[in-house]
Every structure is written in C-alpha cells, then in structure tokens.
Structure 1
Amino acid sequence: MKRLTSAAIALALLTPAALHGQRGDSYDYFAPQRDMIQRGVQAILQCNGLFTSDRSIEQVFDQELVYLQNPVGTAEGGDYIVDWERKAVAIGAPGAIPVMRAAFREGIGCVIMAPDQTFDDIDDLPILNTPPLGGDPAAMAWPDGDLVESRPLPSGVDPVALQAASDWTFDRESPEQVTLSFIVVQDGRILHERYAPGVNMFTKTRTWSTAKSIASTLIGMLVDEGKLGLDDPLPFDWLPDNAGSRATDPRRHITLRHVLNMASGLYPVDSWGMEYATGSGFSYWAGVSSVEGARNRSLMREPGTFWDYENYDTLLGVYAMKQVIGDPQAYLEFPRARLLDKIGMRNTYLSTDRFGDFIMSSQIYTTARDLARFGMLYAQNGMWRDERLISEDWIEFVRTPAPATSESGNFYGGQFWLPPDDRTDVPADAYSTAGNRGQYVVVVPSHDLVIVRRGLDYGRQGFSQWDMTREVLKAFDPVATNNR
C-alpha cells in the first residue's frame, strides 16, 4: 500500500471551497502593466486634448483626464512634459514605470509611442499630408458647410418639449455625466444645437467606440464593391505567423460577419476587468501593434455562437479592409476619399497606431456636427446628394440583430447598437452608435431623425441613449412626422 506524505494528507483534507480559495489570486500580477497603460491613456488623452481638440491644459485636466481618477500631475504642473513645438507629451518620471509619450501627427491626431521611444522618434510616426477639403465651410450651407439658416421649427415639433429634452440631456442628476454637445436633426435640418461652456462646433473629442460604426461603414463600402464578402472567411493572411498548418487551423472559418457581430469566438482579451491590463490596451495606450494583437488569439468557441464585445474583433475587420486595399498609402487615404470628404466631415481625424494601422475601434477624434453628418448618411438610406455611398443591403445588415444576441435581447447588430427587446418606449427601427464616456449617434428612420450627444462622462457613467431618444421624441408629433 502506498504511504501518503503529510503534505498529501493535508491536501486531501482541504474542502473544495478551500481548494478554490487557494487558486484565487490576492495579488494583482498585472499591476505594473496597468500602471504603464494608465500613463499611456493620459499621454493620448492629454496630447489629443491639447493638440487635436485645441483645449487648454486646465480643460484637459478638468474633463479629459478626470476619467483617470488619479492622473499624473495637475494643470499647474507635475511629472509630465508638454513639448509645444513638437506637439507631444511625456507622462511620468523615469523609473520602474516607463515614461509614456504621444505625439500629434498631421491628418491623424496623436499617436502613442512605445516605452523605449523618445521624442527623437516622432518623425518616424505615420502622417497624412493630403490637401484639405476645398471651400469655406463658414460660407457654405449645412450640411456641406456650417452655415445654418435660422427658421421657425416645422409644424408638429413642440419647441417646449424639445428644449425639455435638451435640458434633460445636459442637466444630469449624476455629476459623473457631463454632456458637451447635443444636436437634433430632422430631414437633414438642424432643429436644435447646444454646447457646454468651452465647447463649440469645432471642438474635436474622442469618439471611443462610436468609431466602430464608422469602421463598419468603410468596410461596408468594400463589401458593396465585392472586394469583401460578409460570409466569406477573413482574408487568409490574417492568421498569425505561429498558426502552424493554416489549411487546418479552425480560425480559418471566421467570417467578416462574425467579427462585425462581435461573435468571432476568439479569446476575449478585453473582458473581466482586463481591458486596461492586457489585450487592446497595449495597442491603444502602449505602442503595441493593433494588428498583431488582434491576430494572436486562440479560438475558444464556435464562431457566431457567443456574443463578446471585443475591440480586436473590430480591428480584424479593419485589417481585412487594409488587405483588400493593398497599398498602405491608399489605405490611409481611403476613409477621407470615400467617406469623410464626401459628406463634409472635414473636422475628423482617424488615428493610427505607430505602424500606420487605423485604430478604428476607438481612436477617432471628431465634432458633434461631423457625427450628425454621419448619422444623416444613414437616415438618408445611404445616399448623399445624388450619390449612393452605402447600399441598402449594408444598412439592413448593421441594423439586424446579431444571431448570438437572440437570447439576450437582440441589442446589437453590425457594429451598431439596437433597442433591446424590452424597450417599448422607443421605435423598434432605431439604431445607434455608442462610445465610452457617452458618445452617441442615434438614427430613427421612422421619424427621419438623427440625435447626437457627445459627453465626457466618467466613473460609473450610465447615460442611456434610448432614454435620450425617448425624451427627444416627446417633441415630435407622430402624425405630422409620418405625413412628411
């Protein structure tokens, strides 16, 4: 008979709960990475706040950086450097945590640098030197320009109720919800526009995940051209270099539809409190390649069967876009040529990582008016003037619930959000972009309506775009709307 050691006896006496307790970690092994990433978050937000948004250092600390709770330094100074000539920032003092740097690049916005890079490496970062869209927007009528004629509201629109919806949006009970701008557009006409003090129609702020809807639109243009297929596997070269036998790798069955529905089945690197420790946090805030991070994930589930919100799923779709475009310069110019310049989004920067890959899961800086133009493209069923930019089929795809959400409310489509099944107070045909800190573009086709809300929320946040839509719709006579 085999004799048990005292250690084995002790282990055998442990209860399952005790064994589970042994497996739990009381130490945050990712703390050094979180600290580095937090400095990187500040570098990007501070750099863009100063040089993309043209905000003062006081505004940046009061609103942009309050999201961090404990940023490095204050508006008066601290362990950070602002290089005004080179339009760059460095966050932190040298030590155990790396100094993190970001630099503004023309046509792109601020790019995060690797921990081992310095300001001497700025000239190696991507840049987009393309001529600006022609014409003087101040002298051009909306939506091509910024000239808005003052006219009475249409019949069927209650001005008191519309103002009440605006007040509801700005006068939040939660001090953590900070509305910067609010626009209501019907039938292409701005009916209401409001900005917080220190913000105006030219203030660019980060879209966060509203960028995903812009990415989906650009990808859809390539699908419309037949260069990508929704139900075709992602371009073969997306598999990582360590994939082994690509012919038998189960990841080869992942389609564009899967990644745009947030149902790739790939390992969820941004879930369960790890977004600012691993995964896309490295490409967003620490200078790692966004492409390599998206590619190097194992398959956990059958594609299409489980919804899991992952930044890297979006970036796999963006990488597919890059592959079919082919030329790196044409890829950088594609968003402006095919979308932004077409609809007058002249105040929008699509940022890249330091390798020149768009981080279109989050890193776009734009104005409320440019997002209103974007919403109008969808409200106009993909048409701009007399040109079709996106197909009706693509619009139908983005507003169709992802199959993996069927048992949890049908709340997500193709990089757009949908009213959950239990929301009966907003039209079922509504759909919305959504980004962290309260970035929303809501399209309500049945009312020919676009609603834009930009925020700098922080902490628990919780602003609901569907509640906002409900409040706005109180101002519109459904009979008058349906008879337009």
Structure 2
Amino acid sequence: MKKIILTLLATLATLGLALALLAPTLLGFSITQLGSAVNVATGMGAKLACSGRYVSGFSEAQNLKDLASYSPANRLLDLRYEDNPKRVTATLLGLGETSASYRPGLGCTLDIGDTSALERIAFAPPAANDAEWPAGSNAPHIDSKLQQKLDGLVASDNAAGLQTRALAVVQNGKLVAESYAEGIGAQTPLLGWSMGKSLTSMMIGRLQALQPEQPISQPLFPQWSDARADISLENLLQMSSGLDFDETYAPGSDATRMLFNAHSASGVALQSPLKYNPGEHFSYSSGTTNLLARWVYEQLGSSPQASADFFQQQILAPLGMRNTVFEVDASGVFVGSSYIYASARDWARLGLLMLNRGNWNGEQLLAESWVDAAQRPNHSSNDPRYGYQFWLNGGGDQLRFPELPQDSYFMLGNRQQVVMISPSTNTVIVRLGWTAGDYPTGENFAQLLP
C-alpha cells in the first residue's frame, strides 16, 4: 500500500510539473489559473460536444476540432460519449470531470446541481410540411446566378480555412439561394452563439405584443433593492444597464463561469454590482442577455414548462421553425446569450420577421413600434450603434460595415455567425460557420445584394 501511495504521489507531482511547464505556452493560461481553467475546459467540452453530437449531428473528430479552435488545452480533453441516455463526459488529463445531458427539444444542459425540473418538460416541435418557404420546406424561387455565386463563396471561404458552413439569401420574402459545406444541410441546426441575444430580445417583443397594457414593475428583480432598482428593461435590451459584468473569456471570469460552471446562468449577472448610471454607458454583456431570459421566465410564472410552451407556441410554431433548439441551463431558464442552434433557413425566418416589421402572414407577432425601437441607436455616451440586442450598421460616427447599407442591422455571434437584415434592399443574408479570426462580412455580403 505504501508503495502504491508513493507511486500515486510521484505521478501527481509529475503531472503538476508538466502542467506548470505547459500552461503558459501550449495551454494558454497561467498555472495560477489551473483550477478555473480545467473547469472551463471540461464544462465547455462536455456542453459543446454534447450539442455538437446530438443536436447538430457532428462527429467526435469534428467536435474536438471545433473545441481546439478556442484553446490548445482542449486538444487534451477526453470526451466520453454515451448514447443511452445521451450524455457526454469530459475530463482534462483526468481532472475536472463534467458531463452534459441531451433531452429531446431542449438540447444539452450541463449536469450541475438539481436538474430534475428538466425531466418534466414536454416539448413538441412543429410538424414538417412541404409548403413554400418560409411556411414550409419547398424553395421554388432559387436564382441560378445567385446560387452559383453562393456556391463559389462557400468554396473559396473553405479553401481559405474560414469554415463557412451555411450561406443563405432571402430577397423580397423568397429564399433565392442557399449553399452548405459538406455534411451540412438545410435542416442542420447550427450554433448561433450570440445571435441568440437577438432571439431573446424578440421573445420579449412577442411577450409585450401579447400584453401591451401590462406595466413593467421596478425593480426588474426583487434582489435589486439598491441602486440597481433604477435599471430599466430598455437599459438591459440596449446593453446599457451599468452593471459591472466581466465579459472577458478567461478562466474564472463572469462569462466563463456563467456558461460553463453555473447552475443558473442568469444568477451570475444578477449579483453584479452597478458600475455606471443606467443608460449612460454601453457595455457588451452576455450576462445582461441572460437577465433578460430570466425576466421572461419570471413573467411566465417561473415555470420551465411555461417558458418552453411560450417559445414553442409563440415563436417556433407561427414561424414554422422546425430545426431550432433553444437550450436551457440546469435551473430551466433559457441561456439566451449563447445556446441557440438553428438551421440557416430558421435563422433566415427570424431575420424575415424583423424585415417585415413584425408581421407574419398577416399576424402582427411583434409590434411595429417595437421593431422600430429595436433598430434605433441607444443613448450611451460611448457607442450608440446597438439597439435591442441587435448590432446597427449606422447610428455612430462611422458605419460598422462600410460596404453595406446604412440601415442594415445584424444578429452577430462568435465564430462570425451573422444574420443581416437590410430594409432598403429588402434582403436577409445568413452566414453560419466556425471562423476563429476575421471574416469578410461586408465584402462578401455586398456581392449578394440586389
């Protein structure tokens, strides 16, 4: 026994020395951040691999490649897949074991704390049909010249290592071209990352359209009995709440704890102190969006089933979104900042709803006044080019994308996910991919406008 213990201690010492030597260079973090870094890596690994496998249908090799694009440390992840029940467990050099479980309709959730409420959620996506897009799957208006251009862009993007996975164009309400990388199709749900912020905002717009006379109480949350009681819903929508939330994606930051280590994603930002007066300062914050998701959840009675029903009945069903999964945290609240998987066609449907000023087949799902407000600049002193969880091309000293129309606005997400809404050209363009660096959004999209 003594010999076994000594051998184990020697192994741990060797492992610690190896990590100390590797961390600053190969792994990308300081040895002083080791504990947090391991937890982030395994939480991220379990969550993204689970969704990649069971939502998007990716291979184990593709999942590991996608994870490694964020950090070399992720190449050392051991990912164990189980198909019954569907679950992925991740460890890093034998440390930090974390798992995520898949549930039909809800996607994957990290197994943190009590997740029993998720087992009771019933979720039925809209039935498929072959009606003309956007109502169904039939796309009879493909423009051959534009289709050829899209195919060429996807091919050249991927030859350059940009990993474009889907590109779609909607003009005058018609799907006129769509192109996909190998292994991806019109029904493949793809991660939008922060494009989900725009969808979370649209859920609020839908809720307010259904309850136009209901006043918004202050404070927004009972926990805010101090100066945060002055934060308005519009402050949250415009990322000008004044909350001191750390958006940096480093081990131990607010953002990484929220997404990869917390039972309640919104609970992290809920505890953030006030740094600026509400409305004065724009500060991009995923925590803010998860507060919006929590606000919707509480307006619907703090019930995971009621929240799922609202999304299904008021967003998915009317728009015919059959290939979309909005994932929840372990407490049952949608992770509005980040975890929405949807096909290019479904992302395009969301863009088209905004382009139509909230009208869908004659039904006003979002008030026109709300859609107008969503694309207006905020009143912050540092960056007004952000509306209700949408990035604006105009509204500041210079255009965000000089090649594109001034009135265009965007859903944007990590790895260069984009939905562009261009009212002046009556166009929606969707780009989904996994680009680690820059992507020529302005240059490429300008080629696709009428």
User: 2:179 aligns to what SS in structure 1?
Assistant: strand
CA distance in 1, matches of 2:49, 2:86: 11
1:91 equivalent to 2:90? Answer yes
Matched, 1:399 2:397: no
Q: How does 1:144-183 map onto structure 2 within 5 Å? A: 144-149=135-140, 159=145, 163-164=148-149, 167-168=152-153, 170-172=155-157, 175=160, 177-183=162-168
Aligned residues: 416
Per the TM alignment, residue 332 of structure 1 is displaced from its structure 2 partner at its CA by 2.2
1:263 and 2:240 are equivalent in the alignment: yes
Are 1:417 and 1:433, in contact at CA under 8 Å, matched by a contact in 2? yes
1:80 Cα deviation from its structure 2 partner: 2.9
**Please, which of 48, 51, 54 is the counterpart of residue 51 of structure 2?**
48
- Match of 2:392, SS state, is coil
Question: TM-score, length-normalised on structure 2?
Answer: 0.85
Q: Spell out the pairing of 1:93-172 with structure 2 (5 A cutoff).
A: 97-114=95-112, 125-126=118-119, 128-134=121-127, 136-137=128-129, 139-149=130-140, 159=145, 163-164=148-149, 167-168=152-153, 170-172=155-157
- For 2:370 and 2:440, the matched residues in 1 are separated by 26
Moved more, 345-354 or 326-335: 326-335
- Distance of aligned partners of 1:94 and 1:55 in 2 relative to their CA distance in 1, 3 Å threshold: closer
Take 2:366 and 2:278, find their aligned partners in 1: how far apart are those partners?
A: 26
Residue type of the partner of 1:284?
Answer: L
Partner of 1:413: 387
Task: Please identify which structure carries the higher strand content.
Answer: 2
List gaps (5 residues or longer) in structure 1: 1-25, 154-158, 240-245, 477-484
**Is 1:286 the equivalent of 2:261?**
yes
Name the counterpart of 1:378: 354
| Distance in structure 2 (CA, Å) of the matches to 1:434 and 1:414 | 13
- Work out which of the two has the higher radius of gyration on C-alpha atoms and give 1 or 2: 1
Q: Write the mapping of 1:294-309 to structure 2, written as runs, cut at 5 A.
A: 294-309=269-284
Aligned match of 2:208 in 223, 232, 238?
223
Residue segments in structure 2 that go unaligned for 5+ positions in a row: 1-28
Q: Shift of residue 93 of structure 1?
A: 6.1
The TM-score with structure 1 as length reference comes to 0.80
Taking the aligned partners of 1:348 and 1:403, their CA distance within structure 2 comes to 33
For each residue in 1:238-268, what CA deviation from the matched residue of structure 2 results, as whole angstroms up to 9, or x when unmatched?
Answer: 52xxxxxx2xx11100001111111111112
| Rounded Cα–Cα distance in structure 2 between residues aligned with 1:151 and 1:84 | 38
Amino acid at match of 2:312: R
Q: Is structure 2 residue 362 aligned with structure 1 residue 359?
A: no
Give the root-mean-square deviation of aligned CA atoms. Answer: 2.5
C-alpha contact (below 8 Å) 2:141/2:175 kept by paired residues = no
User: Which secondary structure state, in structure 2, belongs to the residue aligned with residue 357 of structure 1?
Assistant: coil
Q: Deviations over 1:210-252 (max 9, x none)?
A: 000000000112233236668x64424252xxxxxx2xx1110
Structure 2 residue 414 is the aligned partner of structure 1 residue 436: yes
Shift of 1:84: 1.4
Cα distance in 1 between the residues matched to 2:431 and 2:403: 19
Deviation, 1:28, is 6.0
For 1:64 and 1:84, the matched residues in 2 are separated by 20
CA contact (8 A) 2:171 2:427 kept: yes
Aligned-residue offset at 1:72: 4.7
Cα–Cα, structure 1 residues 133 and 389, in superposed 2: closer, same or farther, change >3 Å? same
Q: Distance in 2 between matches of 1:387 and 1:145?
A: 17
The amino acid across from 1:263 in the alignment is S
Aligned match of 2:324: 348
Read off the aligned partner of 2:212 and give its amino acid letter.
G
- Does the 8 A contact of 2:168 with 2:178 survive in 1? yes
* Aligned-pair identity (%): 28
